[in-house]
């Protein structure tokens, strides 16, 4: 009874009930501090309630936030403790990078750090992680033994990116009008607005075959847009919207004209050339959901975009690699201003929706446009696959493989980042 009274007294005082919960595993949902504020979260209130009901050895702290897609009161009603000071938490869960000044010393964090590709804008954060002896586990690096990723927002990136591409094409052609996803309450409302509109005949080229591309496919199929073969896409005309799904083997060919070998393509991409030149003369809307690295040839060049046969009016570049597979993607755009134009002849950015521009949608954080839906899916995966290895046994070394830094040093798998940290 003394323990229960002490527990209640500390919580009411807004303090972590330290001495009473030494045997509890304390999970914390941190407030997103990086601007613009991300509304997503690693666990929804309902998922927190399920965890607390099934695991009596777990406590969940929630740092109050005015920006989260779920209200603080919903977490309190789910049995979580609203707490500003998270210094007693065992693992702190975020979504986007934690600004260096908000990192707590000697604590364990899990979030998307965007450091493993030596992203310059996060060098200072990684330096501070090492200085403060933070244990950093990156969601992006949580993988099964076969290398497949466990967590991610790829499905919703594909769904929202496809929607935003369709929205932009409607504005470009002045044929229909749709709200962007971020102005919709949820996925259901976003879908419902398609019911009264009539989409014009258009050809959509979807490029890619991963989680993002399959999110795009999901939306296209929900909209009952018909899939056609690559041959029909190239040579037939239609009186309705249609799409073709172009995988890697449709998009690249070996210079030696040998049968396409996917493993060899990723090992030796310089041996291949893009075959997309046969598609851009017949494509109206391009949805780019492909994995790309600098060694992989671009789909087309800026000079190709000047050719009379280049028909594409709108490109939804979900991949959003700057000067990457889409050379006219010269910067990431923003949710409030998602589209910019590209003047093919002047080779420069311009206003969107002009007669002779190609319009580029290049928002880099698309899933946050449907934050509740995206958070619920992410939390479901986290609860099912990651929480058990955090709380019990990690026999597959899932957490270990995803740990970038611990006790002030980079782990062996990520030691290649040392020169990056040192500024070399």
List the one residue out of 245, 166, 174, 177 whose CA is nearest residue 212. Answer: 245
Delineate the domains of the chain, giving CATH numbers in brackets.
2-151+371-421 (3.40.50.720), 154-364 (3.40.50.720)
Average pLDDT, integer, range 101-118: 95
Quote the CA–CA distance of 269 and 359 in Å, as a whole number.
Answer: 28
Average pLDDT, integer, range 269-280: 96
Match 């782990």 to its residue by tokens. 411
pLDDT of residue 16: 52
Match 């056609």 to its residue by tokens. 228
Q: What is the pLDDT of residues 384-394, one digit of tens each?
A: 999 999 999 99
Quote the CA–CA distance of 339 and 341 in Å, as a whole number.
Answer: 7
Quote the CA–CA distance of 168 and 353 in Å, as a whole number.
Answer: 8
Contacts 24+ apart (CB under 8 A), 336-344: 336/182, 338/164, 338/168, 338/180, 338/362, 338/363, 339/164, 339/168, 339/171, 342/305, 344/302, 344/305, 344/306, 344/310
Q: Are 406 and 74 in contact (CB under 8 A)?
A: no
Indicate whether 11 pLDDT > 80: no
Indicate whether 160 pLDDT > 80: yes
**Max avg pLDDT among 5-19, 233-247, 410-424:** 233-247
Name the CA dihedral angle for 269, 297, 166, 206, rounded to a multiple of 10 degrees.
Answer: -40
Q: What is the pLDDT of residues 250-263, one digit of tens each?
A: 999 999 989 999 99
Quote the CA–CA distance of 167 and 339 in Å, as a whole number.
Answer: 10
The pTM score is: 0.87
Q: Which residues on adjacent β-strands are paired with residue 204?
A: 243, 285
List the one residue out of 85, 89, 95, 84 whose CA is nearest residue 60. Answer: 89
| Mean predicted lDDT score pLDDT of the chain | 93
Average pLDDT, integer, range 89-101: 96
Backbone angles phi, psi at 103, to 5 degrees: -70, 130
For the ranges 6-10, 68-72, 179-183, 208-212, the lowest mean pLDDT is seen at: 6-10
pLDDT of residue 423: 83
Q: What is the pLDDT of residues 337-358, one digit of tens each?
A: 999 999 999 999 999 999 989 9
For residue 293, what are its two tokens?
């690295």
Decide which of 358 and 18 is more confident: 358
Indicate whether 19 pLDDT > 60: no
Average pLDDT, integer, range 225-250: 97
Quote the CA–CA distance of 10 and 16 in Å, as a whole number.
Answer: 6
pLDDT of residue 97: 95
Distance of CA 331 to the CA centre of its chain: 17
For residue 55, what are its two tokens?
């695991």
Please state the length of the chain. 424
Q: What distances in angstroms separate CA 325 from CA 118, 283, 294, 368, one per listed residue?
A: 20, 16, 9, 24
Indicate whether 15 pLDDT > 70: no
- SS3 of the chain: the string is CHHHHHHHHHHHCCCCCHHHCCCCEEEEECCCCCCCCCCCCCCCHHHHHHHHHHCCCEEEEECCCCCCCCCHHHHHHCCCEECCCCCCCCEEECCCCCCHHHCCCCCEEEECCCCCCCCHHHHHHHHHHHHCCCEEEEHHHCECCCCCECCCCHHHHHHHHHHHHHHHHHHHHCCCCCCCHHHCCCHHHHHHCCCCCCCCCCEEEEECCCHHHHHHHHHHHHCCCEECCHHHHHHCCCCCCEEEEECHHHHEEECCCCCCCHHHHHHCHHHEEECHHHCCCCCCEEEECCCCCCCCCCCCCCCHHHCCCCCCCEEEECCCCCCCCCCCCCCCEECCECEEEEECCCCEEECCCCCCEEEEECECCHHHHCHHHHHHHHHHHHHHHHHHHHHCCCCCCHHHHHEEEECCEECHHHHHHHHHHCCC
pLDDT of residue 23: 77
Indicate whether 9 pLDDT > 60: no
Q: What is the pLDDT of residues 278-331, one digit of tens each?
A: 999 999 999 999 988 888 999 999 999 999 999 999 999 999 998 999 999 999
């Amino acid at each position: 009874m003394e323990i229960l009274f002490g527990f209640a007294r500390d919580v009411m005082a807004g303090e972590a009930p330290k001495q009473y919960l030494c045997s509890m595993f304390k999970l914390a949902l941190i407030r997103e501090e990086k601007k613009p504020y991300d509304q997503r979260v690693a666990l929804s209130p309902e998922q927190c309630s399920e965890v607390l009901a099934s695991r009596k050895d777990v406590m969940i702290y929630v740092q109050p936030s005015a920006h989260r897609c779920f209200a603080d009161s919903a977490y309190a009603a789910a049995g979580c403790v609203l707490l500003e000071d998270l210094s007693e938490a065992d693992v702190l869960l975020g979504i986007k990078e934690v600004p260096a000044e908000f990192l707590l010393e000697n604590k364990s964090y899990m979030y998307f750090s965007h450091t493993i590709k030596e992203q310059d804008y996060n060098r200072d954060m990684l330096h501070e992680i090492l200085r403060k002896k933070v244990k950093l586990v990156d969601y992006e690096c949580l993988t099964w033994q076969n290398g497949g990723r466990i967590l991610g927002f790829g499905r919703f990136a594909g769904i929202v990116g496809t929607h935003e591409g369709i929205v932009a094409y409607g504005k470009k052609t002045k044929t229909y009008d749709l709200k962007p996803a971020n102005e919709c309450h949820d996925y259901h409302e976003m879908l419902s607005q398609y019911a009264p509109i009539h989409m014009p005949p258009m050809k959509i080229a979807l490029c890619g075959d991963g989680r993002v591309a399959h999110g795009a496919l999901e939306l296209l199929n929900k909209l009952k847009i018909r899939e056609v073969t690559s041959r029909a896409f190239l040579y037939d005309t239609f009186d309705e919207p249609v799409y073709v799904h172009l995988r890697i083997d449709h998009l690249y060919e070996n210079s030696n004209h040998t049968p396409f070998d996917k493993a060899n393509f990723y090992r030796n991409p310089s041996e291949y050339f893009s075959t997309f030149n046969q598609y851009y003369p017949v494509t109206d809307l391009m949805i780019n959901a492909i994995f790309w690295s600098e060694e992989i040839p671009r789909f087309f060049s800026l000079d190709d975009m000047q050719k009379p046969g280049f028909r594409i009016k709108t490109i939804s570049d979900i991949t959003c690699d700057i000067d990457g597979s889409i050379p006219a993607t010269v910067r990431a755009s923003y949710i409030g201003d998602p589209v910019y134009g590209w003047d093919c002849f002047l080779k420069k950015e311009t206003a969107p929706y002009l007669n002779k521009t190609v319009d580029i949608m290049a928002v880099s954080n698309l899933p946050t446009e449907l934050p509740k839906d995206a958070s619920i899916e992410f939390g479901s995966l986290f609860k099912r696959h990651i929480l058990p290895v955090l709380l019990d046994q990690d026999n597959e070394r899932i957490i270990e493989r995803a740990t970038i830094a611990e006790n002030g040093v980079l782990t062996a798998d990520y030691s290649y980042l040392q020169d990056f940290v040192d500024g070399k």
